[in-house]
Structures are given as structure tokens and as C-alpha cells.
Structure 1
Amino acid sequence: MRHAEEVTFGGSALDRAAELRGDIPALAAALLASDTRTILMWQGKPLVSGDEGAQELVRLPLDHPVLAEARAEPILLGREDGAARFAHDISNWQPEGQDLGQLGGFSDLSEQVHPSLAPGQRFAELRRVMTGLSPRDAELAASAKAILSWHSRHGFCACCGAASDIASAGWQRVCPACGAHHFPRTDPVVIMLILRGNSVLLGRSPGWPKGMYSCLAGFVEPGEAIEAAVRREVFEEAGVQVGAVSYLASQPWPFPASLMIGCRGEALSDKIVIDPVEIEEARWVSREELAVAFAGQHPEILPARNGAIAHFLLRNWLADTLD
């Protein structure tokens, strides 16, 4: 697919500096360098500045006083123009006088302002600001969110149950009791542009905003090929048999840590029989209908969230730029 890497979080050629992760002297030097900066996260939200739709990811110097609140050692994200970039997490900070009930929700509009930070700098839900970030800022924010989320969920050894330690600049955990090494987890998910003639198969899950439809998706199971997962998920959710399957694009999706594998599939029938446990509704939508929905004028259909790979695939299908 010609435009595959233009998807949100699709990459910005960040130098991930993997060779530094086990180099203790080099890491120590990077932590002392004047041009080193860190990405600050709170409850999975990156610190950003700028106006709505044109946000920038804030990069703080390592002597900033707010970093004293970090609950663990920093994670090395990579290098920009030769300078190291880390991530710090201050999720233990408790904002005063704010209802935090929206945190982690589908439409979290809340923003949090730390008193030690500059005016205009605030923590914002990544799903809300992702399309306003540059490709580099989006990649750094997604990487920081995903790796810190993994650490927050995997503090204990899966082999013996003992508390594990951060190692390799944040890209491993090592168990001091049994010596097991644990690595960040990414869950593969297939997301499918299922076509039949001039129509695409869309569905919606319970709890989504009213009228929102998207491509069908599901996790790849152990021992399963991507193509097989596409066919199985579409049949399980919508009762539609799929023939030929081809790869289109992928998207790292840090909510909390998935790799969305975008595929195109050719439906062998148009009869839909949904599994109500899996989805709430599925329907065939013509190219003309989808164009109206993307224009915001369809009475029943809202397209997938801008920034998600489903929106990207559907938009490219409309523009005939999948190949």
C-alpha cells in the first residue's frame, strides 16, 4: 500500500538506539547530557502544549523539578538528532479538585495541569490529540504510553511470582528470584476491510458513540496465521465467509499495546448473521454512502475515529489509493 506508513503512529524513522539499552556507561552519559530530554506521562496521558488540532509533545530537561515525582527510573525511547529521549511517569501525582471519572474512557475530554509546569502545558488523552501531533511526536507518545503501561501491569514474574526489576533501559524486566527475563508484550490484532463489489462491511460494538461504525477486528490466536484470523473473525462476528486476503498496512495502537494489522478481504457472500456477544450490528455500506458519512451528512452512520487505522483504510478505499 503506497501510503501505509502515513497512518497515525505509523512511524517517523525514530532512532530507537537499541544498542544503548545495555550500555551502562553510555546511558549514564546520556542522562547527564545537556541536550537530553524526556517525555512526561501521567495515567497514560502525554504532556502536550499548543492549540487544539496542532498540539506538540513537550520535551522536558532532566533537571526539571517535576521529575522528582517520577515513580520509577526513566525509559529510553531513542534519539532525536543524536540526543537521547527518555520517558518518565508521574502517575502517582493526584490533581486537586478534579473529577477523574473520565480517565481511560472512550471520550476523555479532561485535561490535567501540574502546578510545576509552564502555562499551556497539560496532560491530555492521546486518542483525542493524536491527529494533532507530528509523526515524530505521535511515535514518541505512543511508545512511551505502551511501554509504561506494560511495566504497570507486569511488575511480578510470570514464572515464580516474585517482584521483578526494570532492566535494559526499560525494555526488559528481570526476576531476581529465578532469573527469568520478560519482554514488552504486543498483541497482534487483525482489522479488516471486507469488500463485496461496491460495498464494505462495517460493524459497531455496544457502548460506542451513537451511529459510529468501523471495520471488524479481532485478536490473532496462538498458532494462527493472519489470513486465517481475518476469515475466522469475520465469520464469528458477522457470519460472512471470506476468500482472498491481502495485507494493507499496520498501526501500533497503544491502548494498551496492540499492533493493528490492516487487511483487505473479499467476501464470498453478502448475508449477515451477527453474533450479538461480539458486536451490536453489522451492515454493508456502499462507496457512495460512505462518502456521505465521511462528509458528516449521513443520517445513521458516523465513520471510525479519525487517527484509527479503520478510518485510514476506509478513506484510502474511497480515494482508490489502497494499492
Structure 2
Amino acid sequence: MSTSSFTMPFAGNDLNACEHERDPKELQAFLNDPKAKAMLLDRGRPALLPEGGLKWVKPNDLIGQNIADPGPLFLGKQGDVPVFAFSISTENALTEIESFQDMRVVAAQLSPMELALAGQAKSLFDWHDEHRFCAKCGAGSRGNRGGTTRQCDSCGAAHFPRVNPVTIMLVINGDDCLLGRGHGWPEGSFSALAGFVSPGETIEEGCAREIFEEVGVTIKSPRYVFSQPWPFPSQLMIGLICETDDRELVIDANEIEDARWFSRDEVEAVFAKRSDAFKRPPRFTIAHQLLRHWLKEG
């Protein structure tokens, strides 16, 4: 897969983060800049235009609106344009309630850059929502530096967003690949196996452990392919392809509902929409891109 012609969904954010221009006076100047623009989110759902694409407003148009913690989220500058995101309540919103759409549903309606920006904003807002109190002393904390950190004014501790590493792996045996499905997934849906990397593990160790726990298969030769920021809520999906000599599966029903081997021909037919052997993972997922990459390798 050519990196020059492909942008992983939710990646590709090329804003200047302006790390050294985030004191209160500088942020206020960015907010007042007539070129500044802001996207709107409600509980992680971006506001879209009727024809698709993010709805952008002027930050000053949000004065008097019900803006959630941490207030204006400064994402950075696109050229000379300051870019913000606001988490607002649809009960008192500048835009119609129906304009806010689930990001998984509308991912295909956004350009790669808009999807990257909306994903970053959602991840940060989710972090703020879940870290309102200082982990050191328990006092309330506040957003700081344009929403990129939180500050405890009681003990002085600074808190920073965390990204959770997840291995997602395509297990290969000869010309077949192994796909699984989680509990409660839509009928016919299968995807690559995945799991969180635990403390003290390498990526390769996490990959091997998760596969053995879920399906009882021992793998070899794990190799990194690509990664994806995944804002549900804030993960880094690390895409791997690995091999196994084991065909027999021992499925842990506490981990997954089912797992099956699919031939390259079956996967090609599904991607060409000639077969319904399984439901193809959505294009904006790294699982989709891993399968497509494997098909091209063959």
C-alpha cells in the first residue's frame, strides 16, 4: 500500500499545534482572530452540514452558548487560521440537533483532514469528561493550555491525555486468514483479532498473548504494518500481520463469540461484493485496511 496515496482514516492531521503559543493571552487572540473557525461536537458527535462535511462556525458566535468543560479546545493552526473545537449542549445550540451525527456513521462523509480533526477533538473531549478530578489529591481540575492538559489548583499537579495502545492482528496460515467476532456484533460481522497491550509487554508480546487467550493459537513472525488513531475513546490501533502453524481453534467464549478461517478467495469475493461470507469491516477501520493490504500482498 503506497503511503503517498493513502491516508489512514482518523490520521493525517497536519495542523501546527502551536505548543509555545498557548498562554491565556495568546489563546484569546486566536479566538478573536477573524479567520478563526470552530467545529462543534455534542457527546462526541460532530455537527455536519446538510450536504456532508463538518459545520464550521466563528468562535465568537458561541458566546452565550452552553459550552462544556474544558471550554475552547485549541487544535492548532492551519496555515494562518486558528482551529478550535467546542463541546456544546444541543439543548441550547447554535445549530440544529439533527446536525449532530455519530462519528462512526458519518466517517465516510468527511474528508481525511476533517475526520482526523474530528477524531482528535472527540478523543480530547472524552478525556476531559472522564478526568475532571485530580488523580493525586482528588480535588477538581480544570482544562489548561487550550485543552491539551488539565491543571489541579489544589496540589499543582498537571495531567496529560493518555493514548491506549491496542494490537490488532491478522493471523495467517498459508493462504487463509483468521477473523473473529465479538459478543453482540451485527450478524455476519467478522474482523481481525485485537486486544490492549498490558504493562510490561512489547507490541509483539501483546499480540501473541491476545491471540493465544482468544483462540488458543501460537503465532510467529509478527510484523508491523501500520497504525491508526482510534477515537472510541482514545486508542492507538497497531496493525500487525503474523503467521501460525496451528489450525485448530480453542475459542475463549469470555473473550469473543466466534472465530473462523477464511480463504484468500473468500476475502477477495467479499471485498469485491460478490459474496456475503462475512460482513466486510467498514472502510474507515484499520481491520478493513489490514485485509486489503493482505490481499494486495498476495
State the TM-score, normalizing by the size of structure 2.
Answer: 0.93
Distance 1:297 1:94, change over 3 A: farther
1:18-37 pair list within 5 angstroms:
18-21=19-22, 23-37=23-37
* 8 Å contact kept, 1:147–1:184: yes
Residue matched to 1:199: 176
Deviations 1:17-56 (Å, cap 9, x if unpaired)? 22223x33321211110000111101110011143xxx21
Aligned partner of 1:148 in structure 2 is 125
CA contact (8 A) 1:194 1:266 kept: yes
1:225 aligns with 2:202: yes
Matched-pair contact (CA < 8 Å) for 2:266–2:277: no
Residue 65 and residue 87 in structure 1: after superposition, are their counterparts in 2 closer, same or farther (change >3 A)? closer
Distance in 2, matches of 1:70 and 1:255, equals 22
CA deviations 1:148-188 (Å, max 9, x no partner) are 01001100011111111111111111111111111011111
Residues 126-159 of structure 1: CA deviation (Å, up to 9, x unaligned): 1111122111101110011000010011000111
- Show structure 1 runs of 5+ residues with no match: 96-113
SS in 2 for 1:277: coil
Q: What TM-score do you get using the length of structure 1 for normalisation?
A: 0.86
Is 1:136 the counterpart of 2:113? The answer is yes
Match of 2:225 among 234, 243, 248: 248
1:207 alignment partner AA? G
Distance 1:67 1:234, change over 3 A: farther
State the partner residue of 2:240: 263
**Which residue matches 1:174?**
151
Counterparts of 2:36 and 2:258, CA distance in 1: 49
3-state SS in 1 of match to 2:143: strand
Q: Which residue of 2 aligns with 1:277?
A: 254
Q: CA RMSD in A?
A: 2.0
SS of the aligned residue for 2:26 comes to helix
Deviation at 1:66, TM superposition (A): 7.2
1:187, 1:57 → 2: CA distance? 27
In the aligned structure 2, how far is the partner of 1:186 from the partner of 1:285?
Answer: 32
Counterpart for residue 77 of structure 1 = 75
Percent of counterpart pairs with the same letter? Answer: 40
User: Are the aligned partners of 1:296 and 1:302 in contact in 2 as well (CA < 8 Å)?
Assistant: no
Equivalences, count: 296
| Secondary structure, aligned partner of 1:136 | helix
Q: Which whole-Å CA distance do the structure 2 matches of 1:211 and 1:297 have between them?
A: 15
Stretches of 4+ aligned residues off by more than 4 angstroms: none
Equivalent residue letter for 1:230: C
Moved more, 242-251 or 289-298: 289-298
